[in-house]
Amino acid sequence: MLDNVLGMIDGPLWSRFKLTIIASLLLALLGLALYYPRTNLLVEGAIFDLMLNARSEGQSEIMEDIVIIAIDDASISNPRQSQPMYFVPQVWSTILDALVLSGAKVVAIHQRLPIMESRDFSLEDEAKWFRSVQTAHKSGMPVVFGFRYLSDRALLPSPKYVEIMGREHMGFLNLIHDRDNKIRLQALTWPDSLDILGPVHPKSFSLVVAKSVRPELEELPGKDFYINYSQSFTHFSFSDIYQRALNGEVGFFKRVFANKIVFIGDASSINVDAYPTPGSTYSGAVQTGWSLVPAVEIQAHSAATLLSGRLIQEPGWPLLALLYFGLVFTALTPVIINIRGGTKHVVFWIPTAVTLAYLAFCWLAFRRDVYVPVFPGLAILASAHFLYYLLRARENKIIQNTSNQALSLYLNRDLAGQIIQHPEILERRGEVRNVTVFFADLVGFTSMSETMDTADLVDILNRYYDTMNTAIERYGGFVDKFVGDAIMAVWGAPSSQPQHAVSACLSALMQKRLMEELNRELTAAGQPFLQALMGLNTGQVIAGNIGARQRINYTVMGDAVNLASRLVSVNKIFMTTILASEATVGMARDEIAFRALDRIKVKGRKSGITIYEILAHKSDLSPNMAQCVNFYERALKHYFGRDFSGALARLEAALKCQPNDNPSLIFAQRCMDYISRPPNDDWDGVTVLEAK
């Protein structure tokens, strides 16, 4: 069967297209099968937690509208309130009356009321509690209660309790547990159709609380939703609140609970009604790092999520099926194309690019409150990867033979890799390419070579080459040649690089940093200081193989190469390190910070050009240097306009920002010279360089 599949890949276009369609359909079905467990799948749950925490990082804030009165350890250990879990009416009615006076919006009691009438308290206490509930409802402050479902029944209070408190103010307390026992989802309505509360379908406790504040939440899509755990809440001890209520501290209650949603529930350390959540910890715990969150706080998070209006939605299986099919089909596009040669290196990375794009899509969708399960997509893309590379296995011998031939002809490691992907470039031919050419040269190397020991000189030169080559390769450059102490490198050939100018500039900046580190090492060892000057130019060149049949060399030629070489020595005039041409700046100015330095005319060119100093990546440019560049470039406008006094004033301002800025110092001296001895009328400001 495998041979038949491999035969299809080598067959006509229609055979490869059918193979891709069939594989895409099968893997899309696999993705849907993995989708239904959702976060109940352990790996998907872990991914969901990671995304939720990453999205919430730095956004955690205290929800001012929600507070929690926690039956904590202090409440349980207080002899006067030693039974908070058994709903002692006189305690709760005292607190509820105080909350009514405070002007709270809603009181949500996360406690299951007695299943049967108990005589642990008097009928008078019970009647007082009922009056407190009715008073709260009449005052416009709903009191929400909870009950729990078992597998076949519900743990409800007596009918008398339900009648007085109102079934519309009751919601189930059950939580949805994933396979790892974490609480990520909250049910809106109970999935069973048990008609135990009458014709109204039972709603979740948090939904009843949220609807008490915003009645328009009646119609919500789906049966459950994902809880947002990014917020935290202010907590008060149940025993402390009860004591304040007994003391009649009306001012305190109004200050703390006015217009608030008040949750009351068990949050003691011995509480069994507490669960792990996606990275959230109990914000009211005295102990740090308590990993279990009490159910009352989970319900508070659920209500806050509903009230925020930003529910995390899911696309549904039809859209997911279409998405998964498109993912696999795109990832397997190389199977259809089946190109050998020029574009082979492009299609080779399509499956990887699709995978990265899918991860980015899932993250961006999640940030916009749409949850696309990550693991199913990764699973089917991994399967597509495996199929793709299996189908390409037949080409391995051809590639291996080509690589052996390339390595016997080429010494450059990167170029050898390109030959493996593109065997046709072994032919002796050239093509016009737009590239960025780089030259570097050591200052004073000739005199240094005359005074140093040969072994030491070779060692220093090798360390210099290693340093510069590291930065060149880091940004995808191709070292054309090493000549003495000079280096020539190219970006944009032999492989295409859309951002070749940016890569070349970043590499030059990295070379400068690495040279500073190398000089610290050399100085510490008592060896001479090395200063490398660099020049970059972007333009069209002839790129290709030149040489004999038995030995060839890949290189670039043209006027763009010559100009890059000339710029190296121009650094000596302005005491700079890295210079670039206008063409390079035009392609890289969005990411690289440059400074227009001067207009020059190099030997062999009829017209003047503007040269630029490469300063840093824009994100790394210091404020002082940015201000200095601003003054300097404004000074240039005055300078070329023959306003030397105006230019000098701005150069002096630039030097206040950067006192040791060499170009500012040099131009300031020029301006002073021209102020004392004005130039001729035909002066155009262009600096003519006679030497190469």
Q: Which CATH number covers residue 610?
A: 3.30.70.1230
Instruction: Indicate whether 72 belongs to any domain.
Output: yes
Instruction: State phi, psi for 162 to the nearest 5 degrees.
Output: -60, -40
DSSP code per residue over 15-55 = HHHHHHHHHHHHHHHHHHHHHTTGGGSHHHHHHHHHHHHHH
Q: Which pLDDT does position 289 carry in this prediction? A: 44
> Looking at the predicted structure, is the pLDDT value of residue 672 above 90?
yes
CA 314, CA 319: separation in Å to the nearest integer?
10
Q: Which pLDDT does position 122 carry in this prediction? A: 66
Is residue 97 within 8 Å of 130, Cβ to Cβ?
no
> Looking at the predicted structure, is the pLDDT value of residue 655 above 90?
yes
> Are residues 89 and 126 both part of a single domain?
yes
> Looking at the predicted structure, is the pLDDT value of residue 657 above 50?
yes
Instruction: Indicate whether 39 belongs to any domain.
Output: no
Instruction: Indicate whether 422 belongs to any domain.
Output: no
> Are residues 255 and 266 both part of a single domain?
yes
* Interval 337-387: pLDDT, tens: 654 443 445 556 777 888 888 899 989 988 888 888 888 888 888 887 777
Q: Which pLDDT does position 403 carry in this prediction? A: 55
Tokens of 79: 């002899």
Is residue 263 within 8 Å of 99, Cβ to Cβ?
no
> Looking at the predicted structure, is the pLDDT value of residue 260 above 50?
yes
Q: Which pLDDT does position 663 carry in this prediction? A: 93
* Interval 122-170: pLDDT, tens: 677 778 888 888 888 888 899 998 888 877 677 777 777 777 777 788 8
Q: Which of 233-237, 399-403, 601-605 has the lowest mean pLDDT?
A: 399-403
Model's pTM, two decimal places?
0.53
In 3D space, the residue among 208, 265, 213 whose CA is nearest the CA of residue 236 turns out to be 265
438 or 224, higher pLDDT: 438
> Are residues 637 and 611 both part of a single domain?
no
Instruction: Indicate whether 490 belongs to any domain.
Output: yes
Number of domains into which the chain is organized: 4
Instruction: Indicate whether 217 belongs to any domain.
Output: yes
> Are residues 120 and 92 both part of a single domain?
yes
> Looking at the predicted structure, is the pLDDT value of residue 8 above 60?
no
* Interval 476-508: pLDDT, tens: 898 888 888 899 999 998 878 889 999 999 999
CA 42, CA 53: separation in Å to the nearest integer?
17
> Looking at the predicted structure, is the pLDDT value of residue 254 above 80?
yes
The proportion of the chain whose per-residue pLDDT surpasses 90, expressed as a percent, equals 29
Q: What band does 14 get if pLDDT is binned at 50, 70 and 90?
A: low
> Are residues 91 and 197 both part of a single domain?
yes
> Are residues 26 and 52 both part of a single domain?
no
Last residue of a domain, one of 275, 308, 341: 308
Instruction: Indicate whether 578 belongs to any domain.
Output: yes
> Are residues 361 and 477 both part of a single domain?
no
> Are residues 664 and 598 both part of a single domain?
no
> Are residues 381 and 441 both part of a single domain?
no
> Looking at the predicted structure, is the pLDDT value of residue 398 above 60?
no
Q: Which pLDDT does position 286 carry in this prediction? A: 46
The residue behind tokens 């408190």 is 165
Q: Which pLDDT does position 691 carry in this prediction? A: 56
Q: What band does 645 get if pLDDT is binned at 50, 70 and 90?
A: very high
HEC profile for 275-335? EECCCCCCCCCCCCCCCEEEHHHHHHHHHHHHHHCCCCECCCHHHHHHHHHHHHHHHCHHH
Instruction: Indicate whether 413 belongs to any domain.
Output: no
* Interval 62-83: pLDDT, tens: 677 899 998 887 777 655 544 4
> Are residues 304 and 318 both part of a single domain?
no
Within 13 A of 341's CA, how many CA atoms are on the CB side? 6
> Are residues 67 and 19 both part of a single domain?
no
Q: Which pLDDT does position 375 carry in this prediction? A: 86
Q: Which of 8-12, 178-182, 232-236, 257-261 has the lowest mean pLDDT?
A: 8-12
HEC profile for 212-237? HHCHHHHCCCCCEEECCCCCEEEEEE
Q: Which of 40-54, 111-125, 298-312, 545-559 has the lowest mean pLDDT?
A: 111-125
Give me the domain span that covers residue 374: 2-33+314-391
> Looking at the predicted structure, is the pLDDT value of residue 237 above 70?
yes
Last residue of a domain, one of 581, 605, 620: 620
> Are residues 609 and 641 both part of a single domain?
no
Give me the chain's average pLDDT, please.
80
Last residue of a domain, one of 341, 363, 391: 391
Instruction: Indicate whether 653 belongs to any domain.
Output: yes
